[in-house]
Structure 1
Amino acid sequence: MVDILLTNDDGIDGDGLRALRDELRALGDVTVVAPADNQSGVGRKRSTHATLTEHEMGDELAGTPADCVAYGLRGMDREFDLVVSGCNHGPNMGAYVIGRSGTVGAALEAAFLGTPAVAVSAYHNVEFFPHPPADYDFSAPARVARELVERSLDAGVFDDVDLLNVNAPIDAEDPRIRVTRPDDDFDVFVDHDADVPDELTVGDGERHVALRDKFWPHTVGYENPFSDIGTVRERYERGSDRRAVIDGEVSVSPLTAPRQATHHEDLDVIVETLNAR
């Protein structure tokens, strides 16, 4: 039996969290520590103080997903074999996106604290984002996650891998699974003519600019990229997480937590020269 700490970034009442809890119970004990409200896009942000409340799902923490993992792994009188984060109500893929994702941020926090982790995100083959989540059934990605967790633990995958980032289709019963790498395609569009949102006040001498992410080359912001995905399909090689999602597959990216240092001989020469002054 496995002791699993479960969290998410959509909040403790999230539909994906409940589906994942129900599936993972087949593997062992599941303890839920999840944010009190939506914490999407906070990455690995941590808090110094947080309030804790009992919830019918488990413990509700007024903090970030990383806070939930930190509390669960260091504030509870028990040991966990694995941390699982999700199911997120939308995909988390690409090197830039997974660095900003609260779902993946929770898994990274676990990895830095010495516990292997799995981040699970769900996407729809047509709508892309499963919103509103109450209109969708998260049982398919939750089932894929349970199978991956069980087989990966048995095979010793986490002896070498710190975390798995999983993106699974919500509307496919038996999708192909592909081992992937995070794609690094990302850009930003700066709009000088965007409408000023109601919550923003622009004072004298100030200018309003909108910074809109380009996660896909044919979209700006959080538009559904699948409406014209065929125009960019070949831009993404097989083996990338984006191509797997384009093809309706389950993307599984095995990742390590710390940044890997890169050696460059010219930098060695520069440092030696500066030290010799």
Structure 2
Amino acid sequence: MSDPSILLTNDDGIDAPGLASLREELTAVGDVTVVAPHDNQSGVGRTRNSTAVRHDHPWGYSLEGTPADCVAYALCGLGTEFDAVVSGVNDGPNAGNYVVGRSGTVGAGIEAAFLGLPAVAVSAYHAVDFFPQPPEEYDFARPARVGADLLERALATETFDEVDLLNVNAPVDTADPHARITRPTADYDLRVGHDADAVERDLGDGSTAVSLDDSVWPDTEGFENPFPLADDHATRYPHGSDRRAMVEGEVSVSPLTVNHGHAESQSLPGVVDSLDAE
């Protein structure tokens, strides 16, 4: 196989240090074209827009749009035959099925898969600090190497015949981390109206402001660091889950499909048949 043609994008914006690190590593794997958001688009999932503004960039283009916009434009508008899409390195983890579902980093990979290309989404975490923030103070070289190496090895096999997207969470600070195949953790809750700054504030027109606070890790508030409670999380999350791998400072690789699956139900046929009986 000749050197693959790789589309690189992210959700932190084209100037993010994680993207620069990943681009450097991917140039050793194939020909890299960057089409990335003009500014930060974190947390937008697979949101798409009908129009976007394109800007020239030394690495390719920046787009005033979402990560999915970038992928859609690049794959369908550049006239380039790409072999794979890589998204990242995100400056924070994307683990757990709820977070994965709203991640712009992963959303770019999902858009690629629907358009017929395999994808790798790479996110970084710090095994002590959790979020590598501010990103300028962290080195994204290790997650970038993991992502580039994983793409190269997967393209050389039949991995992408069965898998649409590899969602990767890699530590920035663990030397020679073990890599583990994982599944996204099903763990999510929501707290409504408990933020003193927003709870049921009367706006004067009959409307009420409420707070909707995600709880994506147990025993933490919002996006605070859950790793000081690592022992508790280790018992909560079984081996094979993406969050257990992160608690143990490993590289989590979750193979995903994007067709939303097809659930079998023994009771549903009776429910549907009963609609005709009414």
Q: TM-score range by the shorter chain?
A: over 0.9
**Shift of residue 21 of structure 1?**
0.3
> What per-residue deviation string (whole Å, max 9, x for no partner) do you get for residues 144-182 of structure 1?
111111111111200110000000001123100000000
Residue 234 (1) aligns with residue 235 (2): yes
Structure 1 gaps, min length 5? none
Q: Deviations over 1:214-246 (max 9, x none)?
A: 111111211111122222221000000000000
- Cα distance between partner residues in 2 of 1:76 and 1:70: 10
Q: Counterpart of 2:240 in structure 1: which amino acid?
A: G
Aligned position for 1:216: 217
Q: Which residue number in structure 1 is paired with residue 39 of structure 2? A: 37
Q: Answer yes or no: is 1:99 the counterpart of 2:101.
A: yes
Deviations 1:69-93 (A, max 9, x none): 0001000111110000000000001
Structure 1 residues 103-122: aligned runs within 5 Å = 103-122=105-124
Deviation, 1:256, is 0.3
Give, in whole Å, the separation in 2 of the partners of 1:131 and 1:201.
35
Q: Say yes or no: does 1:245 pair with 2:263.
A: no
Aligned ranges for residues 147-226 of structure 1 at < 5 Å? 147-196=149-198, 202-226=203-227
CA pair 193-253 structure 1, distance change in 2 beyond 3 A: closer
User: Aligned AA for 2:70?
Assistant: C
| Counterparts of residues 50-61 of structure 1 (less than 5 Å) | 50-61=52-63
TM-score of the superposed pair, with normalisation by structure 1: 0.96
Q: Tell me how far apart the structure 2 counterparts of residues 268 and 18 of structure 1 sit (CA, whole Å).
A: 52
Give the residue type in structure 1 aligned to 2:229.
D
1-side partners of 2:255 and 2:51: how far apart?
32
Q: Secondary structure at the match of 1:67?
A: helix
Number of residues of Structure 1 aligned to a counterpart in Structure 2: 275
Q: 1:69 aligns with which of 71, 76, 79?
A: 71
RMSD: 1.5
Contact 1:12 1:37 in 2 (8 A): yes
Paired position in structure 2 for 1:13: 15
Counterparts of 1:78-93 in structure 2, within 5 Å, are 78-93=80-95
For 2:12 and 2:61, locate their aligned partners in 1 and report how far apart those are by CA, in whole Å. Answer: 15
Using the size of structure 2 for normalisation, the TM-score is 0.95
Cα gap change, 1:201 to 1:92, in 2 (>3 Å): farther
Matches within 5 A, 1:262-277: 262-277=263-278
CA distance in 1 between partners of 2:95 and 2:140 (Å): 18
Distance in 1, Cα, partners of 2:213 & 2:175: 34
The answer to which of 256-265 and 36-45 deviates more is 256-265
Whether the aligned pair in 1 keeps the contact of 2:202 and 2:208 (CA below 8 Å) is no
CA distance in 2, matches of 1:202, 1:55: 45
For 2:129, the aligned partner's letter is E
Distance in 2 (CA, whole Å) between partners of 1:36 and 1:47 is: 14
The residue aligned with 1:257 is 258
Given that residues 233 and 244 in structure 2 are in contact (C-alpha distance below 8 angstroms), is that contact kept between their aligned partners in structure 1? no
